[in-house]
Chain A
Amino acid sequence: MNINKTKWMIFGVAVIVAGCATYPDQATTKLMAEKMVYDAFTFAPEHKKRLDQDRSQQICSKIGDAKLTNEEAAEVVKLARASIKYPASGNLVGNWKEGDKLAHNGAGDRIRNGKVEKRKENGALCQNCHALAPGEINVGNVGPSLTGYGKQRGNSEAIAKYTYEKIYNAWVVFPCSNMPRLGATGHLTPEQITHMVAFLIDPQSPINK
């Protein structure tokens, strides 16, 4: 035992002297990096959850070109399915005008100097990543274009339900996609999501003009 220990110590010294430092393994990396996260941020106890990863986020944090396994994808979809809640009214299609405003609102709930950005409600962030009404210039392209969304799909009950669920938890359709699980993480309320559905599928909405 003692001999073994000494051996290891000698080996360790040799490693450093020879400059054979190398990349840490996955487990060590994770341990170090997770500690860095909690050391790096100042947060009130109620905001710790913004740093903690839920099970789906852990699965969806693949490094580099690493891919999801079928089992992982299935788990994420299952968790997403279970997360979806519907508005109390049961009506999935709200007011497209409200949805239009929300789609162009990227604010709400950001934290600076310990203060949470106060807004009447959180914006739906759509404009940041998606093309919206035809001809609108100041839109992102991280996500696919939503121009003509309802025109192409119609506004049937089935489409309304699919759209609601996709916004509530995008990972129910595409596990680990870049799209935030806006309802499931609590960023948007079920009622807000009904407005987003209306904005996307209502024939009167600028999206479908």
Chain B
Amino acid sequence: MRQLRRQFLKLTGSASVLTAAVSAGLLKSGNALASTWNKAGFESKSVVDIQKSLGATSMTDSKNITITAPDIAENGAIVPVAVTSKIPNTQSITIIAEKNPFPLAASFEISGGGEGYVSTRVKMGQTSNVRAIVKADGKFYTAVKEVKVTVGGCG
């Protein structure tokens, strides 16, 4: 799929042509360009199965991955999580909320000038480890941070 996209980009030539095609509605940009949604991974209920779906047979703990998230989240409905990877040639970052019913929350493939940094917000039903998996030069690295979730409100 990734290959196909690159080829498509080459075929259409310059970026401006592509932008024009998108804005003219000729190209359904989302479907045409996005990589296939990792159904197996997103439907996995365990970290091991998610690892498999990513093709990560082994992972190394890495201090070059920083997970920025609150130690205590006041509201599990909106838990900010940012991941920074200082590992050279970072290709992808995956975010997993280990105790969620479906733990895989997000996967980010980085290309071109994209830096090894992503930030988003995740729903968490309970206190859980948040795990980041980074793929760099074909190898997998990981880091974990615990986020305590307190139930908000006075009800």
Contacts and interface: CB of A to CB of B under 8 A. Distances in A.
Contacts, number: 11
A138 B148 CA distance: 10
A107 B72 contact: no
A106 interface: yes
B154 A106 contact: yes
B155 A106 contact: yes
A206 B152 CA distance: 22
Contact of A107 (B148, B151, B155): B155
Interface string B118-155: 00000000000000000000000000000010110011
B154 A137 contact: no
A125 B155 CA distance: 10
A3 to B, nearest CB: 62
Contacts of A125: 154
A128 interface: yes
A138 B155 contact: no
A128 B154 contact: yes
The dominant DSSP class at the A interface is loop
Nearest to B154: A106
Contact of B150 (A106, A107, A128, A137): A137
A138 B154 CA distance: 11
Contacts of B155: 106-107
A101 to B, nearest CB: 15
Nearest to B72: A137
B148 to A, nearest CB: 7
Interface string A32-50: 0000000000000000000
Contacts of B154: 106-107, 125, 128
A107 B153 CA distance: 10
A138 B76 CA distance: 13
A167 B134 CA distance: 55
Nearest to A139: B150
Contacts of A137: 72, 148, 150
Contacts of A128: 154
Nearest to A106: B154
B74 to A, nearest CB: 9
A137 B72 CA distance: 9
For the complex of A and B, list the 5 residue pairs with the smallest distance between their C-beta atoms, beginning with the closest. A106-B154, A138-B150, A107-B155, A128-B154, A106-B155
Interface of B: 72, 148, 150-151, 154-155
11 contacts: A106-B154, A106-B155, A107-B154, A107-B155, A125-B154, A128-B154, A137-B72, A137-B148, A137-B150, A138-B150, A138-B151
